[in-house]
Amino acid sequence: MARILAVDDERAILDALARVLGRDGHEVVKAADPTAVPGMDLSRFDLVLCDVMMPGLDGFELVRQIRPDFDGPIIFLTARVAEEDAVAGYGLGADDYVRKPFGAAELRAKVAAHLRRERRPRSHALSFGEVRIDLGAHGLAVGGEAVPLTPTEYAICEYLARHPGQVMSRAQIREAVLGWESDADDAAISMQVSRARRKLSEAGADPIATVWGMGYKWQL
């Protein structure tokens, strides 16, 4: 059972989310006013569902504000299906999105997949020079300093680091990190990798190499 924060200005949608996810035993906390979310204690939640089109504070801006304080999965609920909108959402730190109107089975499957990824057992670490990946804490550090990766950015780094020197295509990364049911495309994966690489570079490391026309590899 997880505690999920659902943010949507339509109360009917919030009621539907609570009803559907309640079937799996999850507790859904409803937030109809997005402007109140940045002031909440987000550490109490395991996952955030966030609508995109909301008055006052849209989902993109809300996620930009809360991502530094929330290290769990964020899933957008959106009627906007343009590729550039999806890429923008991933670029802000979202982990996935569900198109409205959503099916109950799809929503439950995506939520379960992200929660499962967060909770899978880990018991050791991977080290590559100054880069250390703590598999138990889901954390990556460079020279002992933690790098503030989102869950998806961390998962991509871990996946590549588990196969050092091996080129992984965007499709392989998408399936391994987000699952086969994800709507993410190659552009979204490229955006997530780019964000991770930028953060690693700012910390003084560059372990991910682009193999043009093929994908990415962990090069340390």
Q: What domains does the chain contain, in order, with CATH numbers?
A: 3-119 (3.40.50.2300), 125-218 (1.10.10.10)
Statement: residue 216 has pLDDT above 90: yes
Residue 215, strand partner residues: 211
Rounded Cα distance, 27 and 162, in Å: 34
Statement: residue 36 has pLDDT above 60: yes
The pLDDT value recorded for residue 71 is 82
Number of neighbouring beta carbons within 10 Å of residue 116: 10
The pLDDT value recorded for residue 19 is 94
Q: Tens digits of per-residue pLDDT, 138-160?
A: 889 999 999 999 989 999 999 99
189 and 196 Cβ atoms separated by less than 8 Å: no
Q: Tens digits of per-residue pLDDT, 112-137?
A: 988 887 766 555 788 898 999 988 78
Rounded Cα distance, 98 and 130, in Å: 37
- The dihedrals phi and psi of 7, each to the nearest 5 degrees, come to -115, 115
Q: Is 26 helix (H, G, I), strand (E, B) or coil?
A: coil
Statement: residue 193 has pLDDT above 60: yes
Higher-pLDDT residue of 5, 114: 5
Statement: residue 30 has pLDDT above 80: yes
Q: What are the distances in angstroms from CA 161 to CA 115, 117, 139, 152? A: 22, 17, 13, 14
What is the Cα 64 distance to its own chain's centre? 13
What sections of the chain are H helices per DSSP? 11-22, 59-66, 83-91, 104-119, 151-161, 170-178, 186-202
- Cα dihedral sign, 200-66-162-180: negative
Q: Which residues contact 31 (CB under 8 A, 6 or more apart)?
A: 5, 6, 7, 8, 14, 37, 40
The pLDDT value recorded for residue 218 is 94
Rounded Cα distance, 12 and 150, in Å: 30
Rounded Cα distance, 3 and 6, in Å: 10
Provide the residue type at 46 as one letter: D
Rounded Cα distance, 7 and 5, in Å: 6
